[in-house]
Amino acid sequence: MTKKACITGITGQDGSYLAEYLLGLGYEVHGLVRRVALEQPEQRLSRLRPVLKRIHLHAANLDSYASVFHVCSRNAFDECYHLAAQSFVAESFADGFSTMATNINGTHYILSALRELQPNCKFYFAGSSEMFGKVKETPQRETTPFHPRSPYGISKVAGFHLSMNYREAYGMYCCNGILFNHESPRRGYEFVTRKISDGVARIQAGLASELRLGNLEARRDWGHARDYVRAMHLMLQQPSPDDYVIATGETHSVREFCELAFAEAGLDYREYVKQDASVYRPAEVDLLWGDSSKARAVLQWQPTGSFTDLVTEMVQADLQLHLPARNADLAAVQPD
Ligand code: G4F
């Protein structure tokens, strides 16, 4: 029988890769999206363009229990992937209240509606390595204590515990992925990797002359989003629910990312990158480095591709995006 999956946050990087992956496995894919996304499909559904005709979208507002309940009462799902969140850490410092409200209540509403209407639906919660924050050990694994350093991190710790509590209290199949940073050409422009790959392409195309960044010494364990959605699915296929760290096992600094990204376009990052104190965070997570041994052993999951491959793919994709602009400019100055 065809399995039905529900994805919250389907319009984002991970949601779009997951939708494609599940369609490839023969799933019927449903997505919860804000009504405004349905009204502005060109902008808000752009990542889903290749699969739009094959998925079912439902207007829902995760800030409203009634809205979430309404969708769950009309559709029976086998699996629910809860990816939707205010996921930009810096923004969570600017408005901690709405980040906490959306991320914590949204998770609670979905869990509660599922418990009421579809207690056998398997549930995936998108936990984050930001939960480790001021890390207590390196590398970080499932047993490493949490010490979040931002409203975003705190909201993810709360979501993690909500999901665990529904598992323990009501016997629901709830899994938490503790995903380290994962990137791709579909990454939002506010995150540092995309800011860099886009910045390189803009500079190369003559649209910008510098790139202003914050802390270049922060270290992250960066993988490819396409690999990480496979892990989400694998978690829900096990005999019993559990929590898993998903990471590459390598850590690199923002500076290293810059160096490789600019070099990909034949540029030296030191000539273009300017450090800007206004981009620094009030409390930084200095080092993230994951140990995904459990996922590798139990889920038989492993990442594909290297850090360099990821940087190359992102920069090349953004160079392609900006090429038409450069060509148009050149054409404009060509004599007849
Ligand atoms: O790319 P970032 O904004 O990602 P961050 O904060 O690590 O969070 C991402 O990964 C988490 C998983 O660990 C997710 F849960 C979360 O939703 C998100 O996807 O920043 C990475 C690092 C930080 O240390 C930041 O201070 O880059 C540093 N950085 C330096 N300059 C910058 C900049 N970050 C951004 N966004 N912009 C800068 O100009």
Is 336 inside any structural domain? no
Q: Which of these, 194, 185, 178, lies nearest to 228 by C-alpha position?
A: 178
Residue 105 has pLDDT above 80, yes or no: yes
With residue 33 as reference, give the H or E element that holds it.
strand 28-33
**Does some domain include residue 296?**
no
pLDDT the model gives residue 37:
86
pLDDT of residue 42: 84
Provide the pLDDT confidence category of residue 329 given band limits of 50, 70 and 90: low
209: annotated active-site residue:
no
Task: Kindly tell me if the per-residue pLDDT of 282 is higher than 90.
Answer: yes
Which residue's alpha carbon is at the smallest distance from atom 4 of ligand 1?
191
Give the position, in ligand 1's atom list, of the atom nearest the Cα of 85.
17
Atom number, ligand 1, closest to the C-alpha of residue 286: 24
Q: Which of 16, 92, 128, 163 is catalytic?
A: 128
Cα 1 to middle of ligand 1, angstroms: 41
- 334 inside domain: no
CB 4 within 8 A of CB 27: yes
Q: Which of 37, 36, 28 is nearest to 7 (CA)?
A: 28
In a shared domain, residues 70 and 28: yes
User: Is the same domain home to 69 and 163?
Assistant: yes
Q: Are residues 277 and 232 in the same domain?
A: no
What is the structure's pLDDT at 87?
Answer: 97
For a ligand 1 pocket test, name from 220, 255, 257, 287 the mutation site with the most ligand atoms within 8 angstroms of its C-beta: 220
pLDDT at 205 over 80: yes
Same domain, 240 and 138: yes
In sequence order, what are the residues at sequence separation of 6 or more whose Cβ sits closer than 8 angstroms to the Cβ of residue 74?
A: none
**Both 18 and 146 in a single domain?**
yes
Alpha helices for the chain (secondary structure H): 13-24, 35-39, 41-44, 65-74, 89-94, 96-100, 106-117, 151-170, 192-204, 225-235, 254-264, 293-294, 307-333
Residue nearest to ligand 1 atom 35, measured at CA: 192
The verdict on residue 293 lying in a domain is no
Domain that holds residue 99: 4-184+225-246
Total number of domains in the chain: 2
Q: What is the pTM assigned to this prediction?
A: 0.96
Atom from ligand 1 closest to the CA of residue 87: 17
Residue 290 lies in a domain: no
Q: How far is the centre of ligand 1, averaged over its atoms, from the C-alpha of 140 (Å)?
A: 17
Distance 273 CA to ligand 1 centre (A): 17
Is 17 among the residues known to form the active site? no
State yes or no: pLDDT of 324 exceeds 90: no
Residues 148 and 207 in one domain: no
- In this predicted structure, the answer to whether residue 239 has a pLDDT above a threshold of 70 is yes
Residue 279 CA to ligand 1 centre (angstroms): 11
Band (332; pLDDT cuts 50, 70, 90): low
On whether both 152 and 269 belong to a single domain, the answer is: no
Nearest CA to ligand 1 atom 17: 87
| Residue 247 token pair | 């990471």
CA distance 201 to 196: 9
pLDDT tens per residue across span 51-92: 999 999 999 999 999 999 999 999 999 999 999 999 999 999
Cα 219 to averaged position of ligand 1 atoms, centre (Å): 10
Q: Is 316 found in the same domain as 240?
A: no
Same domain, 176 and 256: no
Catalytic site residue 152? yes
In this predicted structure, the answer to whether residue 328 has a pLDDT above a threshold of 90 is no
Residue with CA at minimum distance from ligand 1 atom 32: 192
Return the HEC string of 172-202.
CCEEEEEECCEECCCCCCCCHHHHHHHHHHH
Return the CATH number at 71: 3.40.50.720
335 found inside a domain: no
Give the CATH number of the domain where residue 274 resides: 3.90.25.10
Q: Has residue 39 been placed in a domain? A: yes
Work out the average pLDDT over 228-239.
98
Cα-Cα-Cα-Cα dihedral sign, residues 222, 227, 230, 231 = negative
For the segment 172-182, the average pLDDT, to the nearest whole number, is 98
Q: Tokens for 283?
A: 């409390």
Are 32 and 38 within 8 A, CB to CB?
no
Residue 336: the pLDDT is 47
Residue in the block written with tokens 């998108």: 126
Check residues 42 and 193 and name the one with the higher pLDDT: 193
Q: Give the three-state DSSP class for 284.
A: coil
Check residue 268 and give its pLDDT. 98
Ligand 1 atom at shortest distance from the alpha carbon of 254: 27
In the prediction, which pLDDT does 40 show?
87
256 and 153 belong to one structural domain: no
Q: Quick check: is 56 in a domain?
A: yes
What is the pLDDT averaged over residues 8-19?
98
Atom of ligand 1 nearest to the CA of 126: 15
| CA distances, 282 to each of 187, 253, 324 (Å) | 24, 19, 39
Residues 155 and 13 in one domain: yes
- Which pLDDT score, from 0 to 100, does residue 323 have? 79
Q: Are residues 12 and 57 in the same domain?
A: yes
The catalytically annotated residue of 16, 17, 129, 130 is 130
**Pocket-forming residues, ligand 1, beta carbon under 6 Å:** 87, 89-90, 128-130, 180-181, 190-193, 195, 213-215, 218, 220, 254, 279, 281, 284-285, 288
Average per-residue pLDDT for the chain: 96
Total residues found in the chain within this entry: 336
